[in-house]
Structure 1
Amino acid sequence: MKRIITILAMLSLLLCAAVSANAADIELAKASTLEKIVQSGTLRVGLEAGYMPFEMTDKKGNVVGFDVDMVKEMAKAMGVKLELVNTAWDGIIPGLLSNKYDLIASGMTVNQERNLKVNFADPYIIVGQTALISKQSADKITSWKDLNDPKYTITSKLGTTGEQAAKRLFPKATYKSFEMEDQAMLETMNGKSDATVYDLPMTSIFYAQHGKAAGMKFLNKPFTYEPLGWAINKGDPDFLNWLNNFLRQMKNDGRYDRIYNKWFGSDQWYKDIQ
C-alpha cells in the first residue's frame, strides 16, 4: 500500500510540474515580441539607411534595398504593416534594447561582442571585408596583408566590423575613422589615405561607380568571414523560431533568389538612388 501511495504521489508531482511548465511556456509565448507585433498590427524595423544595397534612400525619399525587401516579405507573412525606423548606427542596438523597434535588419554582422547584448537569427547572407587601394599606392599593395605597415593609412566607418578588422589585422598602420563609409572611401580615392577597409558589396559598388575611373585598385576577395543576421532582444525563443523558419521558407520558395538578384545581380537600381 505504501508503495502505491508513493507512486501516486510521484505521479501527482510530475503532473503538477508538467502543468506548471506548460503554464510557463504559455506565459513566455504571450510575452514574445512576435505576439506583440501581431496584436499591434505593425512590425517595427530598425535600420540605418546608408549601406548600399542593403538599405538606402532613393531620390523620392523612400528607404529601399535588400534588407527592406526582405522585411516587407516578413511583414506580409505576419499579416501586419511595416514601419521602418531610420536611426544612427551607434545607437541602433540601444534602440532595440529600449524597444524603439522589434528587430534590427541593417546589414549587421553577427559577432560575439554584439551577441552578448542581442540574439541573432540564422545568417541571411555572408559578406566579408575587402580593401579599396588609392591610385598612388596601387602598385605597392598587392595583398591585404601588405596593409600592416607603418607607412600606410587606412580608413573605415566608425563602429563597424570594417573598423574592427582594420585595427585587429593592421595594428602597425595608421587608422582614421569616419561617420559614413562613403567619406572613408572618398578619403582614399582623393589620395588622403592609402586604403579603405569595408564590406563587400559596398566596396564593389563604390569601385564600379567611382573608384575604377579614379585609378583605384580593388582587392575584392574577402579576407574575413562575416555572416549578417537579424537582431532581436534576448529571451524570446518564439520570435527567434519564427524568424528562422521564415528565412528557411524564403530561401526555398524562390523569393530570396528574386530579391538577391534584384540588388546584387544588377546595378539598375543605382540610378534611382541619391
Structure 2
Amino acid sequence: MKNLKLKFIGPVVLISLFIGLVACEAETMAEMEPPKDAPPKGAMKDGPPPKKGPPPEKGPPPKKGDVPAPGRSPALNQALGNLTSEGELTVCTDAPYEPFEYEDEDGNWTGFDMDIMRDISARMGLELAVKVVPFDGIWLLPASGECDIVASAMTITEERAKSTLFTNPYFDADQSLLVRTSDADKFGTLSSLSDGSIAVQTGTTGEMYAQENAPSGATLVSFDEPAAMFLALQSGEVDAILQDLPVNGDRQRNNPSFAMTEVFPTGEQYGFAVSPKNKPLADVVNDMMEEMMMDGVYEMIFNAYFGPVGEVEPIKVGMILVGPRNDKGWSQAHFEGGEYVVEKMGGNIEEDYIVVDFVNPADSPDLTVPDVVSDMIDQGAKIIFATSDDMGDGIMEAAAMFPDTPMIFASGDTAWEEGKRYKPELTNLANIMGKMEYGQMVAGCAAAIKSKDGKIGFLGPLINAETRRLANATYVGALACAGDKSIDFKVTWIGFWFHIPGFTLDPTQVTNDFFDEGRDVVISHIDTTEALVVAGQRAAGGETVWAVPYDYEGACEQAPDICLGVNYYNWGPSYLQAAMHASFGTFENNFYWPGPNWSDWNDHDSSMIGWIPGAGLTAAENDELNEYINELTQSKAIFEGPLNYQDGTPFLADGEVATDLQIWYAPQLLEGMIGDSSAE
C-alpha cells in the first residue's frame, strides 16, 4: 500500500485465475469489499437501496460569499465556498496506480478512486480536476491550497491523521501473494517460498509485511515500480509478489498468467484526505459516499474493478505441425506444449486437442493451412497454433478468413509493430517465439570446450533470417569459449527443416561428411536427430566424436554418452498464457519473444527455453560451461561488437550491442563462418 512510499508508480503491463484456484478466488474477492464494521455517522452503511437512478441534479456552485442556495445543506454550501478553483473539485493523486487512478487510452482519468471522485463531483455540481503529484506528503496538500481532496489509495494512519482530515474509510486493503498461474500449486502459501524469491515494493507496507513474515531462506527482492515486479514475475526472475491485495487482484483479474494464492489480513483501510480546516468537505464526501452506497453506484464502481473473476473453462486447442509429432525435435516440442495447455486448463487430451502433423508441401502437397484451420474450427477449436515459419502466408490468410478465432503464428513477426510482416489488421493473430539465441550460444560454447582442435560442423535446415541469426549466435558462443583454439566453423544447409528424400540433402550424409573432414563436434539445427544418431554410431566404432541436438528436451536419449547437451524449447507456459486469454476473451495480437528463466532454465512452468547438459561433458567441462552461462546471465547480450558480416560489411562497432531488430533480421552469416548466407 502507499504507506511509506515516496513515489509509487504503478502502470500495469500485459496479461487471472487458474482453474484450481476457484476457492482462493472466492476468499480473495470476499476480502476486497467495502468496510464491514459499523461506521460512524456519515460512513458507508448497508441497507435496502432505494430505486436506482441518476443522482439528483445540483445547481451551479456558489461563489465565495454567496448566500446559501435553497435545498443545499449548510455543509455543502460551506464546502463549495472553499474550493481551490471555482466550479471544480481539484483532486491530488499519485498516478498511475492501477486500478485506482490512471489514464485510459483516450487520456481520461479512470480507476476506482477517480470514478468515485467523478461521481461525487457530479453530485456536488462540479467538474473534476486532477492534479498528479508525488506521493510523499500528498496528504498535506489540501491544507496548503494545492487541491481540495486527496484520492490516492492512501492508508489511514495515526501519524497522517495528525496533519490531515480523513474521510470515513472507503476500502479495505490487505496484503496478498501473487504467483504465476502455473506455479499456483507449488507456491500456494507464503511459507512454501522458503527457498524462493519474493518481489516487494520499496518503502511500502507490503515490504514491511514480507520482512516480518517471510519464511527464513526466502529472498526478498525490492523494486521501485510495480511494473518491474510484474515483469520479473513473468520472466521467472522472482517466484512471487507480495503487495496490496487490490493491485494484485487487478493483475489476476486481467491477466490469466497470474494467480493470487494467499491473502494476509492487515486491517488497513483507505481514506480520502482534506484540509483539517475543511470539515464541511469531509462531511459532504461522507454523506455522498453514503448516498452512493444506498443507490448502488458504489457497488457498480466496485464491481467494475474488483468483481469476481470468471472460472477458466477448458477449450479445444488446434495444433498444426510441420513434421511428425514424435520427431524428437521441433514438432514434438510443440506437440507436448499443446498437451501441457490442455492438461493445465483441465481439459481432456482425447477430446480437447486437435493435432494435424506433416503440414508441409512435400509430405502433404494438397493440404493448405487455411483448410486445416477451417476444419479445426468446424471441430470446435477455440485457439489454433501454426508452428512453422513456412506456414506464415497460410496462417495470415486463415486469420483473415476467421477473425473471431485467436491464432498463434509461432516464430512469426506479424504482430510486431517493427516487424517486416506486421499486420495490425489481423487482431486475432499473435506471435510467440523463444529467444533461442541464448540456447545456441550455450551450444556453441559446449562444442568449443569439447572440440580438440576447434573444428565444428553446423547442420542447418533452410536459409532464412531465423536460421542465420541462430547460426550466428552459435558461432559467437563458440568463440567465447574457444580459449587458445582457433574456431573452424562450417555451416551446411540441407534445404528444409528435416530430411525429405529427393527434396533436401541427406542430413545423415552431411553429418558423415563433417566427421570425415576431421570435425569432431556437429551441432544440429534441424528438427530431427540424425546428427546425434550418426555421432553415436561412429563413437561406437571407436571414433572420438560428439554432437549437440536441438529443439526437444529428450533429444539426448538417442545417444546419451556422446551428447554434449541440448538446447530446447518449452512452449507450454507461453501457449498456456495465450489459450487462457482466448478462454477469458482477452486475447490480443501481441508479439512475444521471451528468453529463459535466468534463475532456472529448466523450470517447465516458466522458462521458454532450456539447456540440459549431456553426459558427453566431463564435470570440469560442465563447470567451464556454467561459468559462461553465468556470464551470459549477467550481460544478456547476444551480439556485441566489434562484429562484421560474412562479406566484411560492418555489423556492430566496438562495444555496440545489437537491438532486437538487428538480431531478428540477420541478413548474413558472420565474418569467419564458412557456408552460404543465402540460397542463391
Query: Greater Rg, structure 1 or structure 2?
Result: 2
> Could you tell me whether the CA contact under 8 Å between 1:90 and 1:159 is conserved in 2?
no
1:99 aligned partner: 145
**1:243 counterpart = 2:243:** no
**1:81 counterpart = 2:99:** no
Deviations 1:250-274 (A, max 9, x none): 1112221222223323789x99xxx
CA distance in 2, matches of 1:140, 1:85: 43
2:174 aligned partner: 128
Matches within 5 A, 1:113-124: 113-124=159-170
1:7 aligned partner: none
**1:186 counterpart = 2:231:** yes
CA distance in 1, matches of 2:200, 2:160: 19
Letter in 2 for 1:50: P
Question: Could you say what the CA RMSD is over the residues aligned between the two structures, in angstroms?
Answer: 3.2
For 1:201, what is the secondary structure of its paired residue?
A: helix
Quote the offset at 1:171 in angstroms. Answer: 8.3
**1:175 counterpart = 2:220:** yes
Structure 2 stretches lacking a partner, 5+ long: 1-74, 310-583, 588-680
> Could you tell me whether the CA contact under 8 Å between 1:132 and 1:185 is conserved in 2?
no
Structure 1 stretches lacking a partner, 5+ long: 1-28
CA distance in 1, matches of 2:182, 2:293: 43
Matches within 5 A, 1:2-151: 35-37=81-83, 40-90=86-136, 92-133=138-179, 141-146=187-192, 149=194, 151=195
Deviations 1:92-143 (A, max 9, x none): 3354453321111122222334333322111112221111135797555332
CA distance in 1, matches of 2:307, 2:144: 37
**1:227 counterpart = 2:269:** yes
2:352 aligned partner: none
1:176–1:87 Cα change, 3 Å: farther
1:122–1:155 Cα change, 3 Å: same
CA distance in 1, matches of 2:126, 2:176: 38
Letter in 2 for 1:169: N
1:143–1:92 Cα change, 3 Å: same
Instruction: Give the structure-2-normalised TM-score.
Output: 0.31
> Could you tell me whether the CA contact under 8 Å between 1:204 and 1:220 is conserved in 2?
no
Deviations 1:45-68 (A, max 9, x none): 011232222212211122211211
**Mean alpha-carbon deviation: is it higher for 235-244 or for 33-42?**
33-42
CA distance in 2, matches of 1:120, 1:171: 35
Letter in 2 for 1:177: S
CA distance in 2, matches of 1:190, 1:39: 46
> Could you tell me whether the CA contact under 8 Å between 1:34 and 1:238 is conserved in 2?
no
Instruction: Give the structure-1-normalised TM-score.
Output: 0.72
Letter in 2 for 1:227: Q
What fraction of aligned residue pairs are identical, expressed as a percent? 31
When you count helix as a share of all residues, which structure comes out higher? Answer: 1
Deviations 1:62-98 (A, max 9, x none): 2211211111111112222210112233353354453
**1:204 counterpart = 2:249:** yes
For 1:90, what is the secondary structure of its paired residue?
A: coil
Letter in 1 for 2:98: M
Deviations 1:223-246 (A, max 9, x none): 322221111222433222222112
> Could you tell me whether the CA contact under 8 Å between 1:157 and 1:177 is conserved in 2?
yes
Deviations 1:163-194 (A, max 9, x none): 33223333855433323212222222322223
CA distance in 1, matches of 2:204, 2:163: 16
